Structures are given as C-alpha cells and as structure tokens.
Amino acid sequence: MQTEILIAGFGGQGVLFAGQVLAYAAMDAGCEVTWIPSYGPEMRGGTANCTVIISDEEIGSPLVLNPRGVIALNLPSLDKYEPLVKPGGVLVVNSSLVNRGSRREDIESVFIPASEIAESLGNRRLLNMVALGALVAKLPVLSLDQVKRALEDHLPERHKQFLQANLQALDAGASFALSVSRVGV
C-alpha cells in the first residue's frame, strides 16, 4: 500500500524537518520512501512544503496529486491543499493560525492549536512535531513509537539537547488528536 503525505506552511515552521522525520521513520521501518522538499527563496516567512510517500512496494513517481494526509500549518496552506486531500484522508490544521473550519465532509479534519501547545511546552518552534504527532495518531501508516525512534536515531548531534522536547511535542499532538477531531465543520 502507498500513502502520500503533504506538509505545508511558512518557512521557519519546521515543515521540511517534519517531513524528514517521517521519511526516516518509514525508511527505518523497511518501507520504500520519497521525500521531496519545495520552498521559496526566503529563509523564513516564505512558503515551504514537502511531500513524503511511504510504500511497501517500489514507488513509481514522487509526484503527489491527492495526498492521503495533509498538515497545513497556516491559512494559505489550508486554502491550497485542503481541496486535494483524498476522500477518506486526514487533514491536520494548525488552528492557531487559521480562522476557518474545514470545507470538506469527506475527510477527517483535526484542528489543533499547535502553536499554543508548542508554547506551553516551552518552545513555539515545536509546532511541527505537535502537528506531526496529530497526523501520526490519525493516519495509520507508521506508529508514534516508530516516529519517535527515528527522531532519536536521526536528530543531528547539534540538536540533541532538543530531543526530549520534540518527543513531548509528538506525544502532545497525538494525545490531542485522539481526544478531539472533527469530520468537516
């Protein structure tokens, strides 16, 4: 089975890193995987997105037209990618930066205040892991433990001091998603 995931937001929100963690988790689990980043020329504040494809067979193309999972960390990303989510798919939205609900009733929508949860954990830059935890809890492609293990195994040495905070953020996002979700709005 093949699962396509798209993660999108502003540059500086950790979009590409969240995708990398997911890709490493899939690779470590023995899956075939692609990770394709896309970002504007700005370092922070521009657009950024990445696609991750996880499969138990060889992947024929890295292009993603209708992802089964989408993380939208801001309103422009929600506006752009919500219509593309495959029916029956999962949409995780950072409700901290979005002022509307889902326009779809054929997908599972999880509106999570990722920025606030990250700030409550002591670092607003953890919002990507909060959102990733929510997606992993709702999209049965990898377990939360597999993602946490990948983070532990692949986090660059210069960032190891942030490991526990990232693990807490994954847990917080997963817990939120399992306790509250909405189909449509």
CB–CB of 133/177 below 8 Å? Answer: yes
Whether the pLDDT of residue 27 is over 90: the answer is yes
Q: What is the pLDDT of residue 185?
A: 40
Mean pLDDT score across all residues of the chain: 92
Whether the pLDDT of residue 184 is over 70: the answer is no
Whether the pLDDT of residue 24 is over 50: the answer is yes
- Domains of the chain (ranges, CATH numbers): 2-183 (3.40.920.10)
For the segment 122-140, the average pLDDT, to the nearest whole number, is: 96
The angle, 0 to 180 degrees and rounded to 10, between the axes of the packed helices 163-179 and 144-154 is 160
Whether the pLDDT of residue 82 is over 90: the answer is yes
pTM of the model: 0.93
Alpha carbons 138 and 86: distance in angstroms, whole number: 14
Q: What is the pLDDT of residue 62?
A: 87
Q: How confident is the model at residue 136 (pLDDT cuts 50, 70, 90)?
A: very high
CB–CB of 11/41 below 8 Å? Answer: no
Task: Give the CA angle between residues 119, 51, 161 to the nearest 5°.
Answer: 40
